[in-house]
Structure formats: C-alpha cells, structure tokens
C-alpha cells in the first residue's frame, strides 16, 4: 500500500513538472509571437522563393519544407529567448552580490 502511495506521489510530481514546462513553453511562444514581426522584407523574399518552388515541386513537398523550416526557426527563437533570460538572471544576481 505504501509503495502505491509513493508511486502516485512520484507520478503527480512528474505531471506537475511536465505541466510547468508546458506552461513555460507556451509563455515563451506567446512572447515571441507578440514581439517578432511576421511580415518583413526577409519573410517576403522567403515567400517568393517558396512560390517559385511550387512551380517545380509538388505543393505538398513545399508545404512540408516550409513547416520544417518554421518549426526549426521557432525552436531556435525559443532557445535564444530562454538563454537570454538565463543571462539576465545571472547578470542581476551578479549585481545584487
């Protein structure tokens, strides 16, 4: 009976950590979406190139490529944001000490 209670407590802690990580991830994604402009000169050029590609490659393949690029870019931006926050915390701690 005791093992079952310990197992449930461990499962609860694990779920709580996952929920916390997901909440943090959503917050970072929302901040990035708010802070980064979606229509820029660079993006317009990418969009033009993707449109050109659709003339030669199947549109499904181009869509898959665009999604892979967007996913990679989101991940990199998220990592950059988190690293920046860690640097900020380190700097604030250094100033306080």
The pTM for the full model equals 0.51
Tokens at 27, concatenated: 């917050």
pLDDT of residue 12: 58
How open is the CA angle 14-17-18, to the nearest 5 degrees? 85
Q: Residue 95's pLDDT is what?
A: 92
Q: Tell me: the pLDDT tens digits for 4-62?
A: 656 666 665 666 667 777 887 788 778 777 777 677 888 889 889 888 888 888 888 98
Decide: helix, strand or coil at residue 40: coil
């Amino acid at each position: 009976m005791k093992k079952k209670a310990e197992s449930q407590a461990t499962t609860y802690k694990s779920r709580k950590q996952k929920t916390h990580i997901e909440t943090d991830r959503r917050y970072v994604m929302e901040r990035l979406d708010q802070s980064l402009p979606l229509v820029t000169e660079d993006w317009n050029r990418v969009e033009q190139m993707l449109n050109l590609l659709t003339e030669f490659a199947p549109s499904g393949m181009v869509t898959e490529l665009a999604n892979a690029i967007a996913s990679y870019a989101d991940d990199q931006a998220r990592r950059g944001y988190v690293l920046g926050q860690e640097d900020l915390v380190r700097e604030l701690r250094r100033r306080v000490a």
